[in-house]
């Protein structure tokens, strides 16, 4: 009887074990039938005790009564096909935790065609207090699309940007990226949803309007950029008085400044020279860095070149030279006059080089020479190309006289426009 009892117990145990194995096998088979891409694409649900680790609303999920930043709706060019392209369903979710077990970073990675793991898809990071700090997307290892950065001053390793001084922390920074570069609008709000600064970018360069605000929400500084260079006027408004000061205009980053110099040789009221300087260019000191919340400042280089129309007079008040410059390069028609008012030289510059027909006259108004520029090589008897170095001659066959500087000499190779020092 005892043998029969223990035999029965052993048989029932075997049957129970076999049933458990069959159930586990069926469960594994059911899971294997599920598409791995569907599992990977499911968002991770974090269970956080109520009242702990309160997180600001994600992009597009602002609380009622708050103003969510709407990214610009400008069209984006379709990315070219990339040999390193990865399939969306092949991404894997990685979570990184600190020693306490608190989640600090969550991101998706994928293997590219070269066999390297790259960030691709969701990317989030929390600070030491469990507050969400960064939220955005990667594409093939580069930030791409809409990004949000919650800025808590005590958590930042870099000092706050001067653009945020006077505003109430914490700050909300939102920007758009295209293949790793700022592309679209970057805007920063303070704790009261007041904008602090807003800058437009195109492929990493400032392009469009850049606005700096006062804590009361009014615009305190307005700039315009074209391909990373200041363009037009910079308007600075005083929050106290509301008065605006104009700095500029700027052209390709150069500050245009009129200049007039009086002649003290005869009469201080008479002009010696008049024109416009281009000072600069205005260069960015530093970089615009979304990740450290730093905005580059503007530094105007101490370099001046003539720009626009310039005129120079003799002490008697007689016009001496008149011409146009484009950021230091002579361009268009230039003309010089003798002290008695007779025209001395006339010609045209293009991109800083003399072109076309240049003509010289003596102080009686008699034409004494002409030359075509650029100088055309002439063939010698041996067929070797040569450039004539002889000065043009007068109708009588004698060498034309040289004219005083800054009038170009007809004996010189190529007439040169007066330098800045000669304009004075």
Cα–Cα distances (Å) from 378 to 375, 389, 393, in that order, read 9, 11, 17
pLDDT at 65 over 50: no
Distances (CA, A) of 379 to 254, 357, 382, 383, 387: 45, 21, 8, 5, 9
What are the structure tokens assigned to 370, written together? Answer: 């002409």
pLDDT of residue 8 exceeding 70? no
How far, CA to CA in Å, does 90 sit from each of 30, 87, 118, 144, 421?
Answer: 20, 6, 12, 18, 67
* The pLDDT value given to residue 388: 34
Please name the residues in contact with 345: beta carbons below 8 A apart, sequence gap of 6 or more. 334, 335, 336, 358, 359, 360, 361, 403, 407, 408, 415
Q: How far apart are CA 134 and CA 235, in angstroms?
A: 33
**For the whole model, what pTM was predicted?**
0.67
- The two structure tokens encoding residue 21: 């194995």
Gap between the Cα atoms of 239 and 167, Å rounded? 14
* Cα 326 off chain centre by: 23
Strands 219-226 vs 229-230: parallel, antiparallel or unpaired? antiparallel
In which residue are the tokens 């104009």 written? 246
- In 10 A of CB 349, how many CB atoms? 24
pLDDT band of 68, cuts 50, 70, 90: very low
pLDDT of amino acid 273: 87
Q: How confident is the model at residue 217 (pLDDT cuts 50, 70, 90)?
A: very high
Average pLDDT for residues 168-179, to the nearest whole number? 96
Average pLDDT over residues 289-310: 92
Chain centre distance of CA 228: 4
CA–CA dist 34, 29 (Å, integer): 9
Model pLDDT for residues 257-287, shown as the tens digit of each residue: 988 876 555 455 678 889 999 999 999 999 9
CB 104 within 8 A of CB 97: yes
CA atoms 409, 412, 417, 420: torsion sign: negative
Q: Which residues contact 193 (CB under 8 A, 6 or more apart)?
A: 66, 67
Angle at 360 between CA 356 and CA 366, to 5 degrees: 135
358-361 contact pairs (CB < 8 A, 24+): 358/408, 358/415, 360/392, 360/400, 360/403, 360/410
Instruction: Provide mean pLDDT across the span 97-115.
Output: 92
> pLDDT confidence of 161, banded at 50, 70, 90?
confident
- Would you state the structure tokens that stand for residue 293, as one six-digit string? 């919340």
Q: Are 282 and 262 in contact (CB under 8 A)?
A: no
In this structure, which long-range contacts are made by residues 147-152, counting pairs with CB atoms below 8 Å and at least 24 apart in sequence? 147/174, 147/175, 147/176, 147/177, 147/290, 148/58, 148/59, 148/172, 148/173, 148/174, 149/173, 149/174, 149/175, 149/290, 149/291, 149/293, 150/56, 151/188, 151/293, 152/127
């Amino acid at each position: 009887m005892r043998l029969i009892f223990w035999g029965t117990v052993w048989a029932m145990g075997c049957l129970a074990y076999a049933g458990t194995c069959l159930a586990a096998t069926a469960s594994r088979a059911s899971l294997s039938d599920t598409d791995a891409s569907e599992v990977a694409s499911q968002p991770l649900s974090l269970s956080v005790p109520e009242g702990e680790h309160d997180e600001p609303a994600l992009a597009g999920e602002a609380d009622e009564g708050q103003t969510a930043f709407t990214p610009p709706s400008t069209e984006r060019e379709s990315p070219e096909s990339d040999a390193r392209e990865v399939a969306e369903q092949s991404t894997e979710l990685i979570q990184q935790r600190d020693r306490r077990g608190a989640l600090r970073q969550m991101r998706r990675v994928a293997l590219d065609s070269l066999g390297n793991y790259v960030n691709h898809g969701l990317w989030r990071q929390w600070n030491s207090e469990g507050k969400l700090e960064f939220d955005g997307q990667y594409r093939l290892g580069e930030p791409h699309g809409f990004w949000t950065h919650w800025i808590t001053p005590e958590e930042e390793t870099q000092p706050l940007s001067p653009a945020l001084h006077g505003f109430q922390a914490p700050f909300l920074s939102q920007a758009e990226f295209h293949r790793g570069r700022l592309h679209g609008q970057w805007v920063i709000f303070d704790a009261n949803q007041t904008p602090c600064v807003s800058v437009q970018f195109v492929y990493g360069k400032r392009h469009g309007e850049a606005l700096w605000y006062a804590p009361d929400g009014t615009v305190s500084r307005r700039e315009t950029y074209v391909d990373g260079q200041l363009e037009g006027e910079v308007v600075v408004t005083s929050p106290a008085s509301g008065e605006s000061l104009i700095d500029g205009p700027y052209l390709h980053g150069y500050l245009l400044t009129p200049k007039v110099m009086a002649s003290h040789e005869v009469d201080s009221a008479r002009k010696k020279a008049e024109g416009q300087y281009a000072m600069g260019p205005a260069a960015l000191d530093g970089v615009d860095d979304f990740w450290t919340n730093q905005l580059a400042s503007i530094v105007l280089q101490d370099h001046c070149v003539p720009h626009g129309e310039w005129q120079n007079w003799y002490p008697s008040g007689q016009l001496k030279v008149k011409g146009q410059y484009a950021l230091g390069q002579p361009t268009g028609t230039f003309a010089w006059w003798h002290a008695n008012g007779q025209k001395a030289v006339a010609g045209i510059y293009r991109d800083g080089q003399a072109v076309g027909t240049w003509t010289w006259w003596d102080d009686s108004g008699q034409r004494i020479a002409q030359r075509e520029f650029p100088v055309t090589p002439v063939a010698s008897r041996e067929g070797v190309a040569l450039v004539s170095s002889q000065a043009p001659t007068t109708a009588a066959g004698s060498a034309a006289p040289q004219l005083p500087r800054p009038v170009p000499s007809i004996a010189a190779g190529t007439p040169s426009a007066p330098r800045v020092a000669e304009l004075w």
